[in-house]
Amino acid sequence: MQAFTSLNLRGKVVLVTGASRGIGAAIAAAFAREGATVVINHLSNDAAAARTVAACMAAGGDAWAIKADVGSHVAVQEMVQGVVREAGAIDIVVNNAFKPYAFIPEQRRRFDDLEWSDYQSQFDGAVGAAFNVCRAVLPQMRQRAKGSIVNIVTNLVENPVVPYHDYTTSKGALVTFSRNLATELGPVGIRVNCVAPGLVYPTQGTQATKESFRESLMAATPLRRLAQPEDVAGPVLFLASDLSGFMTGQVLLVDGGLVMR
């Protein structure tokens, strides 16, 4: 039995989608601090992606940005092929990108106000994007019989304290998508897990969340605070690393104990 005493991420090639800011940027920088080579995928904000690259380089890792819409099968295939040409392989994938969503309870749309197209849009942004990325990266992971995929979901799947119907439904589907992949890919040495944050503040999606709601959520949370983007990065690194080498199909809740399983 091989014993691991460190994350053992130095030299690993990591693709983080939606990594120009917020949670994705924090995850990218955390991998860089461990000596990984980080590929920062982003959709449109070149300046933000450049800042994330600079932060990764300053942290001690190699990094570069690639603009690609993860909702496009063709764009993702081209992105992954480019990374493999440049770096030789992709060892770890973090599917963090999702359709823009505002976490403002007072402004959320009730079920009767939603159309199926709203669900479909969120499903395409969560499961569709992960599908495209996994389809592109898995052939080279299978060839090497190793790899780790971490998908970002939400604790709202377990406890919809605010019923964001379309968003939460899509993330629940992403959990099931991940567990099916984990079952199929485990025998060939590829692990698939999820990290489920609670409300993360500040991010683009939560910057308009009212202080009164944030305070009520903190009061109900055993650790008495909200997650910051950096709080999500640690569990992602753990699930990506050799320290979790006998874990697959799992969901780690990162919400200060708001949901306990």
**Burial grade of 1 (CB within 10 A; 0-12, 13-18, 19 or more):** exposed
Catalytic residue status for 164: no
Q: Residue 177: name the closest of 229, 238, 133, 119 by CA.
A: 133
Phi first, then psi, for residue 215 (nearest 5°) are -65, -40
DSSP 203: S
CB 110 within 8 A of CB 166: no
Give the residue carrying structure tokens 């505002």.
102
- Angle, vertex CA 118, rays to CA 113 and CA 122, nearest 5: 140
Of the residues 101, 119, 164, 167, only one is catalytic, namely 167
CA 214 to the chain's CA centroid: 22
Helices (H), 186-240: 211-220, 229-240
Q: How far apart are CA 257 and CA 261, in angstroms?
A: 9
- Angle, vertex CA 87, rays to CA 82 and CA 92, nearest 5: 95
CB 188 within 8 A of CB 145: yes
- Which residues are marked as active site? 167
